[in-house]
Amino acid sequence: MFFLTYLRRELRRRMRQAIFIGLGLALGIGLVITVMGASSGVKQAQSKVLADLYGIGTDLTVTVKPQVAKNPGTGQNFRISNGPGSSGPSGQICTNGTCKALKGGDVIDTLAAANYGVLGADEAAKIARLHDVKNAVGNLLLTDNRIVIPTSNNGPLPQPSNVSVDGVDPAHQNAGPLSNAALAKGRALSSADKYAALVDSNYAASHSLKLGDTVTLANQKFTIVGILTQPEAASPPNIYVPLKVAQALSIDPATNKALTSDVDTIYVTAASAADIAEVQHEISELIPGATVTSSADLANQVTGSLASTAKLANELGKWLAILVLIAAFAVASLLTIAAVTRRIPEFGTLKALGWRSSRIVSQVLGESVGTGICGGLAGIGLGFAGVAIINKIAPKLSATVPSASGPRDGGFATSVGGPGPVQQQFNSAANAHATVSVPMSASVTVAAILLAVLLAIAGGLLAGSFGGWRAARLRPAAALTKVA
């Protein structure tokens, strides 16, 4: 009891010094909490982007590179021209070197696996049988290429329209892009559906589509049975159709063969998060040449201000906080030593009255730890204030992420010839990347508060140790000579 009473009296008697030391510690601890809060906010923003991009229930995606046609005439391409002297646009569509004339009003509408190479449907079953795999689901990511041959040569030649399509297994919608989507209207696909489709809400709004309307893919009409809301970061497909129907209507543009029983993307769920690396290795051995991508791999592909801020918070912010904290501890230690020096007469008198050095040291340590705890509490308050300021003034971060449908580097060779020798090449696929805005919400975590308390105690102990060491070296006779 006397220890606490004496401690409280000394802190009150030296209030100005205690406040000064406490504020130094508070600034260092407050900066540490602010940096940790900002770093936590960036990590949460990055996690949200990856979750939106990768899909819930998916740990890995398996793809292969698209096959390149060995013969230039293999596959499908078309050419339109309205050169001088022509009565209207004319052209031809060629399939495996066999060409057919086109005329005004004709429609070319082909559903193609333009994103990845083809995988056999049995590959998903093989992966599902691996020891550490919980589930494996095959999808068919496609692009619908549509162009209408104009009936007049007036005006610019039309460009092909491209719609991203995903063939999904209605019985397994818990992996891949659909796992992260929510039904805004209508219903999900069922195993009994054939020519039914789910449409992304943004695509539906931009094309004035509603439930019961139809969309045309590969010259086949599909009835819209549901409208989905999906994360912007995922760059999701525009339309989802049953996998069996997608396989029947689509072709591989490199070989012009139907994809009757094939997929081009396999979504894999590991039995445990700890097994992901092992599963990735097992799949690579099972399917040589396959690209096995995890969310960690995607994290390395996220660029933009989100990645820059994450690097700044993790590197520069961390070292800045450490340097400020070291400075705060050093100032607290020096001030405590100076205070002990000024109290030499007091400690000499206490030693003459019978106090041991250990008791004096514990008294100095107690005062320093008390000051440190008060500084830690003030630092927590400053940390909350710093995080609030960051949330108030921080702009939205941007993240450039790869498309959920994968890199779109395939497609049909579409040559459109205008007057003279000028030709323009169109790629049927969508862009491989998308840029999204990500709000950063910094927060103070329980771990940060616990760290602040530990730092406060550590700072107090460090300063008290130096001060106690100085007090322990005092000799009563030498100290009493300085008593006024």
- Counting residues of the chain whose pLDDT is more than 90, the rounded percentage is 11
Q: Left, alpha or beta for 251 (phi > 0: left; psi -120 to 50: alpha)?
A: beta
Q: How much is the pLDDT for 38?
A: 78
**Quick one: CA dihedral 113, 114, 119, 125, positive or negative?**
negative
315-368 confidence digits (pLDDT tens): 666 677 777 778 777 877 777 777 777 776 777 677 777 777 777 778 777 878
- From residue 114, how far is each of 354, 370, 412 by CA, in Å? 90, 68, 8
Q: Nearest to residue 223, comparing CAs of 259, 194, 183?
A: 194
**Higher pLDDT residue, 201 or 365?**
201
Q: Whole-model pTM?
A: 0.58
- From residue 117, how far is each of 158, 179, 234, 329 by CA, in Å? 29, 23, 21, 60
**b/e per residue 145-158 (b: at least 16 CB within 10 A):** bbbebbeebeeebe
**Higher pLDDT residue, 341 or 293?**
293
User: Could you give the angle at the alpha carbon of 408 between the alpha carbons of 291 and 301, nearest 5°?
Assistant: 60
Asked if 135 and 128 count as a contact pair (C-beta separation under 8 A), the reply is: yes
Measured CA to CA, the distance from residue 466 to residue 237 in angstroms comes to 65
Neighbours of 400 (CB within 10 A): 16
87-91, 249-253, 377-381, 404-408, range with greatest mean pLDDT: 377-381
**Quick one: CA dihedral 371, 375, 377, 378, positive or negative?**
positive
Q: What's the mean pLDDT in 299-313?
A: 60
Bridge partners of residue 293, in order along the sequence: 61
105-154 confidence digits (pLDDT tens): 677 788 887 668 888 878 888 998 898 888 888 888 888 888 777 776 55
**Higher pLDDT residue, 437 or 162?**
162
Q: Which two tokens stand for residue 17?
A: 């010094």
List, in sequence order, the alpha helices (H) in 250-316.
276-286, 295-299, 305-311
Mean pLDDT of the chain: 74
200 membership: H or E segment, kind and range: strand 196-200
396-406 confidence digits (pLDDT tens): 666 665 554 44
Q: Left, alpha or beta for 154 (phi > 0: left; psi -120 to 50: alpha)?
A: beta
Pairing of β 196-200 and β 239-242 = antiparallel
Q: How much is the pLDDT for 27?
A: 83
Asked if 119 and 65 count as a contact pair (C-beta separation under 8 A), the reply is: no
Q: How much is the pLDDT for 418?
A: 38
214-236 confidence digits (pLDDT tens): 999 988 999 999 999 877 655 67
Which amino acid belongs to residue 86?
S
Measured CA to CA, the distance from residue 464 to residue 460 in angstroms comes to 6
φ, ψ dihedrals at 284, nearest 5°? -60, -35
- Counting residues of the chain whose pLDDT is more than 70, the rounded percentage is 66
Instruction: Say which DSSP state 303 is in.
Output: B
Asked if 141 and 166 count as a contact pair (C-beta separation under 8 A), the reply is: yes
pLDDT band for 417, please (50, 70, 90 cuts).
Answer: very low
Pairing of β 107-112 and β 250-252 = parallel
Q: Nearest to residue 401, comparing CAs of 141, 47, 50, 60?
A: 50
